[in-house]
Amino acid sequence: MEIPVLNEIMRDTVVEVDLDRIAFNVRQIKAMAGPGTQVAAVVKADGYGHGALGIAPAIMENGASLLAVATLSEAVELKQAYPGYPVLIMGLTPDRLLPYVLEYGIIQTIDTLAQARLLNRLASEKKQQAVIHIKYDTGFHRIGFPDCPESLDEIRQICSMPWLKPEGIYSHLALKDDQSNQVQFRCFMDAVNELESEGCHFRYKHIADSIAAVDFPEYRLDMIRAGAIVYGLKGFHKGQLDIRQALTFKNPYQPHHSCSERPGGKLRLPVDRAAGHQGGCPALWLRGRLSPEPAWQGHGHPQGKTGPGDRSHMHGPVHD
């Protein structure tokens, strides 16, 4: 028996994404950053569960300069839909898949001399310059060139490669405390200043994610990486930024409230009723378009326990 494809929601709970609020948030972020600082909007994990393809135009048309993702597959999906949007992969791409970076004109993060040499060779064969951002590890220890003189020598070699365009260099604050933030920032700027004094030039230097961009204006530099704040999620503690939550859960058997309308500004669901558990994963709607991803996907939305915007059960900051 052939089962027909149904263009309807076959579940009760849905999630609505307000594109006007996404647009408003991006304008607020850009205004905060100022004219000399560009905004890289982080849309990894399907736009923190909001639907990257659906929200990308609202982001790019309201002040963002590029879209940032974690993986090659995320970048290819965006470039297929929006060839003109600059897309940065913040993660690493396996050597065997680097031809796709060139094919789609994706900006690639580089953190080894060996991969830079390979990408330069592939770009020369294709007669197409590859745009890269160099990751410099100052203490977050996710990826990046280690903070040492040998790394600076390797980065200088990368800057001299004819088929690579080092558009940016960046690092990532661990956000442990103010003192460690300052140590990381000094390490980063010392490295950048030494490189630029010896002929390496970077259009974008960035170290601030969502939290740092709001709480520490001195770390904004040429670019900030706005992740959670694009979606109205407030993880910052010291600064102020007027943003609005873009995601709302709706169920025909319960009052329709956004998290901000709940007492205390929090939406708390029992684990057995939260998205992804016995109650089923809410469908994700974007102005009438259904996304196949369940609503809990994305780094910005913890799975179960609490609703979007509530990080009270989490230990440490959620980055980007």
Report residue 220: phi and psi, to 5°.
-75, -35
Query: What is the DSSP code (8-state) at residue 222?
Result: T
Q: Are 217 and 181 in contact (CB under 8 A)?
A: no
Round the average pLDDT of the chain to a whole number and report it.
83
pLDDT score, position 15: 80
pLDDT score, position 110: 98
Largest CA distance in the chain: 71
Residue 80, pLDDT > 50, answer yes
pLDDT score, position 319: 58
Residue 273, pLDDT > 50, answer no
Least confident piece of the model among 217-221, 241-245, 248-252: 248-252
CA distances from 62 to 26, 266, 270 (A): 6, 28, 37
> Would you say the pTM of this structure is higher than 0.85?
no
The three-state secondary structure class of 180 is helix
Q: Are 48 and 66 in contact (CB under 8 A)?
A: no
User: What confidence category does residue 218 fall into, taking pLDDT thresholds of 50, 70 and 90?
Assistant: very high
Rounded CA gap, 254 and 309, in Å? 20
Take residue 261 and report the two structure tokens written for it.
């309308």
The alpha carbon of residue 260 and the mean position of all alpha carbons in its chain are separated, in whole angstroms, by: 23
Rounded CA gap, 180 and 61, in Å? 36
pLDDT score, position 251: 76
pLDDT score, position 316: 43
- Checking DSSP bridges between strand 145-146 and strand 130-137, what pairing results, if any? parallel
- Mean of pLDDT values over 183-196: 98
Q: Where does residue 174 rank: exposed (0-12), middle (13-18), buried (19+ CB within 10 A)?
A: middle
Residues belonging to the chain: 320
- Mean of pLDDT values over 135-142: 95
